[in-house]
Amino acid sequence: MKSKKGKRGKSEVVRFCPVCGSREIVLDSSYSGIFKCKNCGYRASIFPSTKKKKAQLKIQEMAFVLLAFAILASFVLLFFARFQYLSIAKQAEKIREEKAIAMLHGIASLPELSCSSSSICIDKGKLEVINKSDTIKNNYKELWKSSNIKSIVIETKTKTYVVYESSDIGNFQTYLTYVPVCNHYCEFAKIKIKLILPENA
């Protein structure tokens, strides 16, 4: 019995430039029967050639497709990671803001600062005392330091009172609110608090 011979893979003739090695060889439209290298411009009627099996071409095409897919997947993952990072950063900023607002209201309600009446206000006389007294400031120093507070400042139209200031360095963000400061009369003042930000914020 005659054995069936397996079909050999079809091959493709591939020309290449003897000058630069490029495989981008095309027929020169200016001259009949002349080939031209698109890379370096070399012209000749005969270019060296080699045979390349279609199976090899398909393997290379598949490799390029897989590479393109891997690059696309990398971009998608980077975009998703960036989106997640921004979302987490936004949530962290919201938490810091809520914490700062709570601190500002808490500072205005301190017995050493608040008015004796039930209304929320700062006693100007007490503010003058705490501004000059390191003893009172030191009572809250550890608490404010552990809360990552850089400084607490109360500003009226005529004067700035430094309630607390830390020597810590780093990035910080300022939050503020308004509260009445009263003595014989009341005026609105700004309470500014600077929070030290985490290193990765």
Query: pLDDT tens for residues 117-169?
Result: 766 788 888 888 888 887 777 777 777 777 788 888 999 888 998 888 887 77
Look at residue 1 and tell me whether its pLDDT is greater than 50: no
The Cα–Cα gap between 152 and 154 comes to 7
CA nearest neighbour of 122 among 193, 178, 66: 178
Listed as own residue / partner, the contacts of 116-124 with beta carbons closer than 8 Å and 24 or more positions apart are 120/179, 120/180, 121/179, 121/180, 121/181, 121/182, 121/186, 122/154, 122/179, 122/180, 122/181, 122/182, 122/189, 123/181, 123/182, 123/183, 124/181, 124/182, 124/183
CA nearest neighbour of 123 among 176, 177, 186, 178: 186
Look at residue 11 and tell me whether its pLDDT is greater than 80: no
Domain spans of the chain?
12-75, 84-196
Output the pLDDT for position 57.
Answer: 66
Output the pLDDT for position 56.
Answer: 63
**CA distances to 23, 42, 48 from 55, in Å:** 18, 30, 22
pTM, two decimals, is 0.49
Task: Kindly indicate the confidence band of residue 19, based on its pLDDT and cuts at 50, 70 and 90.
Answer: confident
CA nearest neighbour of 193 among 136, 137, 155, 167: 155
Listed as own residue / partner, the contacts of 191-194 with beta carbons closer than 8 Å and 24 or more positions apart are 191/104, 191/107, 191/108, 191/152, 191/153, 191/154, 192/151, 192/152, 192/153, 192/154, 192/155, 193/100, 193/103, 193/104, 193/107, 193/149, 193/151, 193/152, 193/153, 194/149, 194/150, 194/151, 194/152
